[in-house]
Amino acid sequence: MKIHLPTIKKYTLLVCYTLFFLTSCKTIKFDDVNETKAVNEMLNKWHSDVANYNYNDYFNAFSKNAYYIGTDAAENWKQSEFKVFSKPYFDKKHTWNFKTKQRNIFFSKDQQFVWFNELLDTWMGICRGSGVLEKENGHWKIKQYVLSVTVPNSEMKKVIEIKKLKE
């Protein structure tokens, strides 16, 4: 059997090009650094929007079926209810201004959900926020946000006594 040299060169070149292409391609994978940055930017903007009375932007960060859970036991609002409650504060330009001191972000294995917790500097002192985000049409949306007042353990008995008077 006679091997034709130009044919071997063509196959060799084809194999070389294929190997070069395959080794130069990056595997598509989730980019933790950029997604973490995107989540931080989204949450920072959300806090900024309320502080700057940007009603529409603030509520556009929520999923349609989101919940906002406030510091009072009665504050367990659907997004639509929270919008109604908050509107007068935005209209009077008397909203809240929470500054993030520290935040932890965690991603689900399928990268479609985030849960986070954050320490906030607020008019109530240090508070804790926590929540869940879901990726909707390429954008992170708030599914649930919980705001909690932090209480030093040494003061808990006083807080319990105050709560007993109200509950």
State the average pLDDT for the chain: 87
Predicted local distance difference test score (pLDDT) of residue 143 = 98
Query: Would the pLDDT of 21 be above 60?
Result: no
Query: Would the pLDDT of 16 be above 70?
Result: no
CB atoms near residue 57 (< 10 Å): 14
Give the chain's domains with CATH numbers. Answer: 32-166 (3.10.450.50)
pLDDT tens digits, one per residue of 116-166: 999 999 999 999 999 999 999 999 999 999 999 999 999 999 999 999 998
Q: Is the whole model's pTM more than 0.75, yes or no?
A: yes
Strands 62-69 and 139-149 come out as parallel
Average pLDDT over residues 35-54: 97
Residue 155 contacts by C-beta under 8 Å, 6 or more apart in sequence? none
Predicted local distance difference test score (pLDDT) of residue 33 = 86
Tokens representing residue 117 in the block = 């917790």
Query: Would the pLDDT of 29 be above 60?
Result: no
